C-alpha cells in the first residue's frame, strides 16, 4: 500500500511538475496564432524528455552519481565545460523567467505590481531551498501544480467544435498572414519548452538526493512514462483554450493575464482561482528546480560538496551559488525586462543548447563501466539516436529562424 | 515579416487591435461575473502597456511621404480611442463609474479592435 501511494504521488508530482512558465506561455502564444496545428510538437517533445529523463535517472540510480559528475569524468573537462556553460546560462535565463512568472501569477491574484512581488518570490524560493526537505518541496509543488488540470476541464466546459479542433491537429495548415518560418520557429520553441535541459540535470541529481537504487528504476520509469505524457495533455489544453477563445478574435498572446481569459469564460471565478494557484505552484516548483539545477551543475563540475541531503553548512558553495543565481535573476527582472519576453527567449535558447545536454547523457548511459548490465537497450538507443538528430536539427535551425522571423513576429 | 513604413504601421495596428479585442473579452467575462477584479485589472493594465508600446513605435517611426504621415495619424488616433476605452473599463472595474456601462465599453473596444486588425492586415499586405 505504501509503495502504491509512493508511485501515485510520484506520478501526480510528475504531472503537476511538468508545466512551467515556458510551457504556459509558449502553448498559449502558439494556440492563439496557429490553433492546434502545432499540437504534434508536444508528443514529440514529451517522448524525448521521457526517454532522456529516464536515461539520466537510470544513470544516477545505477551509479549512485549525478549525470553531470560523470560527464566530466567520462568525457573530460573540455566537453564538460561546454556543457556547463550552455546549461548554466540557460538555467539562469529559465530561473529568471520562472521568478518573473511567480510574480506575474501573484499579480493576477492581487493586482499588485509584479516588481513588488519579484523580491518576495525570490526570497521564498531561497528559504524553501535552504530549509525544506527535498521530497517535501518536490511533492508539495507538484501536487498543488495539479490545479492546472483545470485547463483541461475548461476545454470541456467551453464545449468546442471537436471536429474543428481535430482538423487543426491532424491536417495542420497556416492561417492567413502566417508564414512557414514563424510556424517552424514556434515548433522549435515548443520543443525547447518540453525538453528544457534543467529537467534532466534536476532529475538525475534528484535521484541522488532521494538515494535511488536499481530497485527504484521501475517506479521512476512509471513516474516519467505516465506523469510526463499527462502533463503534455495539459500543454495541449492550454493551446486549445487559446485556439477556441482568442484565435477567432485575432488576439495575440503577450501576457500571462490573457491565458486566464478562456478559463474565466469557461469556469468563472472559481476556475480562475484554481488556475492562479496552479500557476504559482508550477512556476514556484520550476524556480526551485532551476535554482537547484544551477547549483548542481556548477558544484558537480567543480567537485564541490552538493545536495540538499547535506546540511547547508556542509555544502556552503552549492547553497551560495543558488543564492547568487537568485540575486542575479531578481536584478535582471528589476531592470523592467518583460518576464514573458525572457520566457520566450529562454525556450528558444534551450532548444539551441539541447545537443550539449543530451549527447553526453546518451553516451554515458551506454557505458558499461558506469552502467554495468543496465546500459541502454537497442530500442532506447534507436529512439535516443533519432532524437539526437531532431535535437541537432532544431538547434541548428533556431537562430536562423529567430533572425528571419524577428523572434516569431 | 513585412518591412517598410506601411508594414511597421500594420504591425502596430495589429498589436493595438489585438490588445483592444483582448480587453473586450476581459471586460465581457468580468461583466458576466466570471472573473475577479484583480485578474481583470491586471489584464487591462497589460493591454494598456501593449498599446503604449505600439504607440511609441509608431510615433518614433520616420515617414517619407504625406500619405504615410496620414496613416501614422490614423493609427495613433485609433490607439488613443482604445487607450481611452481601456482606462474607462479599468475605472469601472475598480468601482469608479456605472457597471452598466461595461457592455458599451466592451462593444466599443471590440469594434475598434476589429477595425484595427483589418487595417493591420491591409497595411502588412501593402508593406
Q: In which domain, by residue range, is A191 found?
A: 2-405
For A8-19, what is the mean pLDDT? 71
Cα distance from A156 to chain B (closest Cα, Å)?
A: 17
Lowest average pLDDT, out of A160-164, A172-176, A228-232, A375-379, goes to A172-176
The enclosing H or E element of A40 equals none
For A242-271, what is the mean pLDDT? 96
Lowest average pLDDT, out of A15-24, A122-131, A348-357, B84-93, goes to A15-24
Cα torsion at A172, A18, A221, A361 (round to 10°)? 80
Please tell me the distance from the alpha carbon of residue B10 to that of residue B120, in angstroms, as a whole number.
4
B116 neighbors B124 (Cβ within 8 angstroms): no
Task: List the grid coordinates of A208.
Answer: 541522488
pLDDT score, position A232: 94
**DSSP-based three-state secondary structure for A311:** coil
pLDDT score, position B127: 62
ipTM comes to 0.94
User: B41: which chain A residues are within 8 Å (Cβ-Cβ)?
Assistant: 111
Cα distance from A336 to chain B (closest Cα, Å)?
A: 13
Q: A23, A336, A37: which is closest to A180 by C-alpha?
A: A37
For A332-344, what is the mean pLDDT? 92
A319 neighbors A86 (Cβ within 8 angstroms): no
Q: Using the beta-carbon criterion (under 8 Å), do A246 and B37 form an inter-chain contact?
A: no
The architecture (CATH level 2) of B4-121 comes to: Up-down Bundle (1.20)
pLDDT in tens, A207-249: 899 888 998 888 888 888 888 899 999 999 999 999 999 999 9
User: B113: which chain A residues are within 8 Å (Cβ-Cβ)?
Assistant: 249-250
User: A272: which chain B residues are within 8 Å (Cβ-Cβ)?
Assistant: 34-36, 39
- Pick from A260, A272, A405: CB nearest B1: A405
A49 neighbors A387 (Cβ within 8 angstroms): no
- Pick from B22, B29, B124: CB nearest A177: B124
pLDDT range class, residue A268, cuts 50, 70, 90: very high
Lowest average pLDDT, out of A73-82, A362-371, B43-52, goes to A73-82
Please tell me the distance from the alpha carbon of residue A29 to that of residue A34, in angstroms, as a whole number.
8
A407 to chain B, any CB pair closer than 8 A? The answer is: no
Q: How much is the pTM?
A: 0.93
Q: Using the beta-carbon criterion (under 8 Å), do A255 and B46 form an inter-chain contact?
A: yes
Measured CA to CA in angstroms, residue B90 lies from A111, A124, B41, B44, B79 at distances of 12, 31, 6, 7, 16
User: B29: which chain A residues are within 8 Å (Cβ-Cβ)?
Assistant: 261, 264-265
CATH code of the domain covering residue A165: 1.20.1740.10
Q: A294, A288, A241: which is closest to A102 by C-alpha?
A: A288
- Pick from A109, A249, A264: CB nearest B21: A249
Total domain count, chain A = 1
Residue spans per domain, chain B: 4-121
Q: Using the beta-carbon criterion (under 8 Å), do A276 and B39 form an inter-chain contact?
A: yes
Q: Using the beta-carbon criterion (under 8 Å), do B39 and A109 form an inter-chain contact?
A: yes
Amino acid at each position: 500500500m505504501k509503495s502504491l501511494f509512493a508511485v501515485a504521488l510520484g506520478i501526480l508530482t510528475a504531472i503537476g511538475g511538468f508545466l512551467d512558465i515556458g510551457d504556459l506561455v509558449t502553448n498559449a502564444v502558439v494556440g492563439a496564432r496557429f490553433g492546434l496545428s502545432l499540437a504534434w510538437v508536444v508528443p514529440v517533445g514529451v517522448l524525448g524528455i521521457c526517454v532522456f529523463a529516464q536515461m539520466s535517472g537510470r544513470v544516477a540510480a545505477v551509479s549512485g552519481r549525478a549525470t553531470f559528475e560523470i560527464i566530466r569524468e567520462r568525457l573530460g573537462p573540455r566537453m564538460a565545460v561546454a556543457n556547463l556553460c550552455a546549461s548554466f546560462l540557460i538555467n539562469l535565463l529559465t530561473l529568471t523567467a520562472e521568478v518573473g512568472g511567480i510574480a506575474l501569477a501573484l499579480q493576477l491574484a492581487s493586482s499588485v505590481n509584479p516588481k513588488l512581488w519579484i523580491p518576495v518570490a525570490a526570497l521564498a524560493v531561497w528559504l524553501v531551498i535552504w530549509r525544506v526537505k527535498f521530497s517535501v518541496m518536490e511533492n508539495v509543488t507538484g501536487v498543488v501544480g495539479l490545479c492546472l488540470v483545470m485547463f483541461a476541464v475548461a476545454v470541456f466546459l467551453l464545449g468546442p467544435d471537436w471536429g474543428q479542433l481535430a482538423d487543426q491537429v491532424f491536417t495542420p495548415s497556416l492561417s492567413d498572414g502566417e508564414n512557414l518560418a514563424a510556424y517552424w520557429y514556434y515548433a522549435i520553441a515548443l520543443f525547447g519548452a518540453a525538453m528544457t535541459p534543467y529537467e534532466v540535470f534536476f532529475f538525475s541529481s534528484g535521484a541522488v538526493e532521494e538515494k535511488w537504487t536499481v530497485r527504484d528504476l521501475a517506479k521512476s520509469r512509471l513516474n516519467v512514462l505516465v506523469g510526463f505524457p499527462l502533463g503534455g495533455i495539459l500543454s495541449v489544453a492550454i493551446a486549445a483554450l487559446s485556439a477556441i477563445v482568442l484565435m477567432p478574435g485575432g488576439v495575440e498572446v503577450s501576457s500571462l493575464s490573457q491565458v486566464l481569459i478562456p478559463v474565466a469564460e469557461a469556469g468563472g471565478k472559481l476556475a480562475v482561482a484554481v488556475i492562479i494557484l496552479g500557476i504559482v505552484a508550477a512556476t514556484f516548483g520550476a524556480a526551485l528546480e532551476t535554482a537547484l539545477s544551477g547549483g548542481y551543475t556548477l558544484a558537480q563540475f567543480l567537485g564541490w560538496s552538493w545536495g540538499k541531503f547535506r546540511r547547508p553548512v556542509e555544502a556552503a558553495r552549492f547553497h551560495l551559488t543558488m543564492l547568487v543565481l537568485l540575486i542575479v535573476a531578481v536584478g535582471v527582472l528589476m531592470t523592467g525586462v518583460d518576464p514573458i519576453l525572457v520566457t520566450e527567449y529562454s525556450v528558444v535558447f534551450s532548444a539551441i543548447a539541447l545537443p550539449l545536454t543530451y549527447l553526453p547523457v546518451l553516451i554515458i548511459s551506454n557505458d558499461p563501466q558506469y552502467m554495468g548490465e543496465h546500459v541502454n537497450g537497442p530500442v532506447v538507443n534507436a529512439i535516443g539516436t533519432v532524437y539526437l538528430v531532431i535535437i541537432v536539427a532544431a538547434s541548428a535551425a533556431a537562430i536562423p529562424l529567430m533572425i528571419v522571423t524577428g523572434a516569431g513576429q | 515579416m513585412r518591412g517598410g513604413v506601411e508594414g511597421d504601421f500594420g504591425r502596430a495596428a495589429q498589436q493595438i487591435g489585438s490588445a483592444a479585442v483582448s480587453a473586450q473579452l476581459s471586460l465581457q467575462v468580468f461583466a458576466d461575473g466570471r472573473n475577479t477584479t484583480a485578474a481583470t485589472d491586471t489584464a487591462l493594465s497589460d493591454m494598456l502597456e501593449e498599446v503604449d508600446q505600439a504607440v511609441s513605435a509608431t510615433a518614433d517611426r520616420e515617414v517619407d511621404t504625406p500619405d504615410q504621415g496620414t496613416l501614422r495619424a490614423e493609427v495613433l488616433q485609433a490607439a488613443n480611442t482604445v487607450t481611452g476605452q481601456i482606462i474607462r473599463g479599468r475605472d469601472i472595474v475598480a468601482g469608479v463609474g456605472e457597471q452598466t456601462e461595461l457592455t458599451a465599453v466592451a462593444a466599443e473596444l471590440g469594434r475598434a479592435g476589429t477595425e484595427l486588425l483589418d487595417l493591420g492586415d491591409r497595411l502588412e499586405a501593402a508593406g
